[in-house]
């Protein structure tokens, strides 16, 4: 199969309006799951391999590291022709997260959509970059939300490797693709509009088989 590259990231849906870069959707794709491109939906799960790296750069230019030990997600891939977005993430569970003020709880809001944004093709290269749109996540200190809480929205970039079935999220450089809003407390270390980085590797599985795009 000829594998196409699509660019990956996350488009924002915020509790308050937050400006973020616009990502144009790529053309529709043919998506197969378990070797079949018949129209349908297929349950998927995604589990991080290693730590989840998250940080923000505050108004003073200081990088504030706020990591999690793991994240798991659930949703569905869409098979068929003329498909884009190609999948949804309906829920996520975050473990071992910390922010200024202590241990943190992260809550997904709404359904996140995996959408292709590019069309470059390289023979023999099965890495697909894509985006997860409509993302909003609320973060707060678990023991007392008034110590620190904020919303994260934006467009982290990444890539999906068809050979390994791994989604690798690599949003770096504090580009503004991820932004904090609704900041309360946080020991004065975070402010509204702070750009954030996010990086993790997610193993994606479906009981119906491997996911491929062309």
pTM of structure: 0.82
What's residue 52's pLDDT?
Answer: 93
Q: Which residues contact 60 (CB under 8 A, 6 or more apart)?
A: none
Span 88-132, pLDDT tens digits: 899 999 999 999 999 999 999 998 888 777 664 443 456 777 777
29-50 pLDDT tens trace: 788 999 999 999 999 999 999 8
Helix and strand numbers, DSSP H then E, in the chain: 0, 18
| pLDDT score recorded for residue 46 | 95
Instruction: Please answer whether residues 176 and 195 qualify as being in contact, where contact means their C-beta atoms are separated by less than 8 angstroms.
Output: yes
Q: Which two tokens stand for residue 40?
A: 């349908």
Q: Which residues contact 7 (CB under 8 A, 6 or more apart)?
A: 23, 26, 116, 117, 118, 129, 130, 131, 157
Sheet holding 97-99, edge to edge: 97-99, 102-109, 136-141, 148-154, 178-185
- How many Å apart are CA 111 and CA 97, to the nearest integer? 21
Domains of the chain: 29-213 (2.40.160)
3-state secondary structure 199-214: EEEEEEECCCCCEEEC
Picking from 41, 125, 58, 137, the residue whose alpha carbon sits closest to that of residue 97 is 137
């Amino acid at each position: 199969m000829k594998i196409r590259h699509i660019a990956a990231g996350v488009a924002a849906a915020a509790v308050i309006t937050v400006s973020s870069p616009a990502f144009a959707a790529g053309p529709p794709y043919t998506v197969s799951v378990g070797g079949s491109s018949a129209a349908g939906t297929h349950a998927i799960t995604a589990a991080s391999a290693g730590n989840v790296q998250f940080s923000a750069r505050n108004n003073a230019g200081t990088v504030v590291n706020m990591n999690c030990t793991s994240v798991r997600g659930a949703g569905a891939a869409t098979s068929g022709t003329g498909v884009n977005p190609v999948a949804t993430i309906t829920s996520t569970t975050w473990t071992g997260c910390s922010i200024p003020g202590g241990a943190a709880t992260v809550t997904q809001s709404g359904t996140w959509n995996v959408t292709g944004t590019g069309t470059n093709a390289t023979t023999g290269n099965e890495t697909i970059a894509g985006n997860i749109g409509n993302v909003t996540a609320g973060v707060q200190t678990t023991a007392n939300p008034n110590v620190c809480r904020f919303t994260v929205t934006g467009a982290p970039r990444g890539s999906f490797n068809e050979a390994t079935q791994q989604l690798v999220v690599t949003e770096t450089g504090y580009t503004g693709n991820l932004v904090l809003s609704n900041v309360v407390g946080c020991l004065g270390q975070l402010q509204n509009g702070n750009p954030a980085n996010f990086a993790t590797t997610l193993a994606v599985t479906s009981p119906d088989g491997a996911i491929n795009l062309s």
